[in-house]
Amino acid sequence: MDIQSIKNRFGIIGNSPSLNYALQVATQVANTDLTVLIAGESGVGKEIFSQIIHALSPRKHNPFIAVNCGAIPEGTIDSELFGHEKGSFTGAVDSRKGYFETVNGGTLFMDEIGETPLGTQARLLRVLENAEFIRVGSSKVQKTDVRVIAATNQDLLLATQNNKFREDLYYRLNTVPIRVPSLRERKEDIILLFRKFAVDFAEKYRTSPIQLDDEAKAMLINYPWPGNVRELKNIAEQISVLSENKLITPKEIERFLPKHADRNLPMVMKSSGGNGQTEFMNERDILYKLFFDMKKDVTELKKMFLDILHNPSTINTVSNAVEASFMQDLPLVQNTLEPSSGNIYAVSKQPIIISESRDIQDTVVVEESLNIMDKEKELIEKALKKHKGKRKDASSDLGISERTLYRKLKEYDIEEL
């Protein structure tokens, strides 16, 4: 079955290369009994991929059960998965079959596998390795024929390093990895998905579908969508219900996007032209602007010192001005200064001595590098140093996800502290 037929059958919208590749891997592995680990952020549609694999496999006529491991209490998850005998624990008034027994011959989809307790992980590894399990409160070994498809929104490899997930189980689950891309990684699909959700809603309630103007489309495309497709669907339905106009503008969009994500929205800048159109500045453009502003400040400092070289008599005036400006901003930087006696932060009042023997004509102003990759690497290194190597805190300070930070560390070959 080709990719487009699978999309039509399961209602998948989008044409991004990363999405198509994930679907291709799912179709290729479906005919086997290999264990699959589906990785992706919450809301990207990981369960759909498990359904595709089961529907295209020889097990398609046998049971398929989806289990959310994070929603099952730690004290009962073993009973849910492997079953229990009567009287094995308080409340066990009767024997009960677990999922590995009831789904025999079929497929078990274990969502949020990273939330599974370590004790359960050891029992799960035995099922995957030997196809056998033991009910809670029993000593009888039972056989099962269940294909396991696991999914997670965590970095399981990092969890193994932190002793929160068994390394042997990780490699056993990760026989065939499938990574489902986030919505911000498939920007070309955002408007298609929004239109599909709006049309579906209009058909359901017999109304005319809403439409987006060009600026509203740009705003949706540049929004980071932390909740991915699930969040996009919710926003489309909210706008369909609550908007008074059928043509949606950026002002309407702002009413529905969560306030906590405003800092990640694209910067809105008025166009210099007279057509009244609005331009959006993405994150890379914002960084460029920041670096050019820094360059301007450094250039002004260089000009100031060149003026001192030409007019040494002005050095005291400049020194006093710099000292006054520094003292005014002292509370902002005092933590970076060395404390002197009496907890008073000392500021040197010694004038800057510049050799007069140097030929002014030989003075060369060297421009610093404005390569954005160098600056990005420098910011990441500073954030890691500031937070003593803690990725979670560093990524939060940088305004990026922990997964993105991990990718940047590999990309720039940055050694962690």
How many C-beta atoms surround the C-beta of residue 192 within 10 A? 14
Characterize 317-328 residue by residue with b for buried, 16 or more Cβ atoms within 10 angstroms of its Cβ, and e for exposed: ebeeeeeeeeee
Q: Where are the domains of the chain?
A: 3-181, 185-281, 286-362, 372-411
Chain segment 130-149, per-residue pLDDT in tens: 999 999 999 999 999 999 99
Mean pLDDT of the chain: 81
d(CA 18, CA 179): 9
Domain 3-181 fold: Rossmann fold (3.40.50)
Query: Average pLDDT for residues 213-236, to the nearest whole number?
Result: 94
d(CA 40, CA 45): 8
Query: Average pLDDT for residues 270-296, to the nearest whole number?
Result: 55
Q: What is the pLDDT of residue 349?
A: 45
d(CA 144, CA 105): 8
Alpha helix ranges (H) inside 184-269: 190-205, 214-222, 228-242, 250-256
| CATH number for the domain running over 185-281 | 1.10.8.60
d(CA 414, CA 404): 13
Single-letter amino acid code for the residue at 264: N
Give residues with Cβ within 8 angstroms of 307, minimum separation 6. Answer: 314, 318
Tell me the pLDDT band of 50, cut-offs 50, 70 and 90: very high
Instruction: Using alpha carbons only, give the angle 146, 147, 148 rounded to the nearest 5 degrees.
Output: 110
Chain segment 193-224, per-residue pLDDT in tens: 999 999 999 999 899 999 999 999 999 999 99
Chain segment 317-349, per-residue pLDDT in tens: 555 555 555 455 444 444 444 444 444 344 444
How many C-beta atoms surround the C-beta of residue 183 within 10 A? 25
Q: For the chain, how many residues are written?
A: 417
- Comparing C-alpha atoms, which of 122, 97, 124, 123 is closest to residue 110? 124
Query: Average pLDDT for residues 34-58, to the nearest whole number?
Result: 96
For residue 11, how far is the Cα from the chain centroid?
25
Q: What is the pLDDT of residue 278?
A: 43
What does the block give as tokens for 208? 């005319």
3-state DSSP of 14-76:
CCCHHHHHHHHHHHHHHCCCCCEEEECCCCCCHHHHHHHHHHCCCCCCCCEEEEEHHHCCCCC
Q: What is the pLDDT of residue 335?
A: 44
Tell me the pLDDT band of 383, cut-offs 50, 70 and 90: confident
337 SS3 class = coil
Query: Average pLDDT for residues 69-93, to the nearest whole number?
Result: 89
Residue with tokens 């046998």: 62
Residue 372 pLDDT more than 50?
yes
Q: What is the pLDDT of residue 385?
A: 85
d(CA 137, CA 126): 17
Q: What is the pLDDT of residue 408?
A: 82
220 SS3 class = helix
DSSP string, 70-120: GGS-TTTHHHHHH-B-TTSSTT--S-B--HHHHTTTSEEEEETGGGS-HHH
**Maximum Cα–Cα distance across the chain:** 97
Q: What is the pLDDT of residue 119?
A: 93
Q: Are 310 and 363 in contact (CB under 8 A)?
A: no
φ, ψ for residue 275 (rounded to 5)? -85, -5
Helix 46-55 vs helix 3-10: crossing angle, to nearest 10:
110
Strands (E), 153-277: 176-179, 211-212, 247-248, 267-270
Q: What is the pLDDT of residue 263?
A: 44
Q: Are 243 and 209 in contact (CB under 8 A)?
A: no
Q: Are 260 and 252 in contact (CB under 8 A)?
A: no
More confident residue, 137 or 1: 137
Domain 372-411 belongs in CATH node 1.10.10: yes
Chain segment 301-310, per-residue pLDDT in tens: 777 767 776 6
Single-letter amino acid code for the residue at 150: A
Lowest mean pLDDT among 236-240, 254-258, 350-354, 396-400: 350-354
What does the block give as tokens for 291? 């670096």
With a pLDDT cut of 90, the percent of the chain lying above it is 54
More confident residue, 93 or 65: 65
More confident residue, 189 or 311: 189
